[in-house]
Amino acid sequence: MTGKSGGPERRGVAYRDRMSDLTLDRYAAEIVTQTELLTASIKGADLAAPVPTCAGWSLGDLLRHLGGAHRWSEEVVRSRATGPVPDDQVNDVTGDDRADTAALGSWLAEGAALFADALRKAGPDARVWTVAPDGTPVFWARRMTVETVVHRADAVAAVDGTYALDHDVALDALAEWLGFVELPQVYESVEAMRALLGPGRTLHFHATDTAPGVEGDWLIDLTCEAPTVRRSDATERTTGEAAVTLRGSAAALLLLMYQRDSVLPSDGVEIVGERELFEEWREGVSAWLRR
């Protein structure tokens, strides 16, 4: 699950990697496409089937959560909300898993289409409430694209299917995750965040399938008073100075961060250096997913 409210709550902290190469129209189209791929993957499936990557959830629970997230975000954008909107439809996943899978899939697709339409009508520069600093529909377009991408992986895991993701979408989704690193609210507490800091504690992410000239490297620095993230340069890619380096396709890195790496078993991530540091950091920075 990717958080009760679709992301960390806004507390006025700069979101340094909010910019994306993807346009609002591309996000809107991707939300619809990813939803279509999800519904196609579960045709004939049992809604009561467990979702191994979302402990305690059935496939029906997963679809109701994602559909609720689309409709919640659609309401925020359509109404030009200036403050928090009740998110009960995101968090209440109860329902009848004896119902028709096709009907629930159609409901999910309808919500994705409504949200895409609301995004296009609003445009990229409208002012709306967001759960992290940004304040435009682009935030919700990006956040719900990632939400749909990740939950499609969950659905695939539930039906033992196959998963693939376009490189540019995966890279942008990974950039969004790493952009959250500096937000204190993604951690359990300020004390939990500070417990991750210390001398020599750095992490390097390298997307191995990035074309020349396209940024696909990040350095996470835990050596100062607060975590920082920045794009890393060619020197840092070759010196191996980070305490731990993670190398893999953008999709593999993304699913590893969301702890869905089992969905791409043949496309794993190479972890060089202090694996324990990575696992400790990922656990700490994933607190917002468990709320």
Side-chain-facing half-sphere of 117: CA atoms under 13 Å: 8
Sheet order of strands, 217-221 included: 228-231, 217-221, 202-207, 244-248, 270-273
* Residues 33, 157 within the same domain: yes
Number of domains in the chain: 2
Percent of the chain exceeding pLDDT 90 equals 78
Q: How far apart are CA 291 and CA 287, in angstroms?
A: 7
For residue 68, give its domain range.
Answer: 24-163
Q: How confident is the model at residue 2 (pLDDT cuts 50, 70, 90)?
A: low
The pTM score is 0.90
The CATH number linked to 266 is 3.30.1050.10
Kindly report, residue by residue over 132-183, the tens digit of the pLDDT: 888 999 999 999 999 999 999 999 999 999 999 999 999 999 999 999 999 9
Q: Which two tokens stand for residue 210?
A: 């990035």
Mean pLDDT over residues 19-45, rounded?
93
Whether 38 is in a domain gets the answer: yes
Mean pLDDT over residues 108-133, rounded?
96
- Of 25-39, 181-195, 210-224, which gets the smallest average pLDDT? 210-224
Q: What is the pLDDT of residue 280?
A: 96
* Residues 203, 244 within the same domain: yes
Q: What is the pLDDT of residue 11?
A: 37
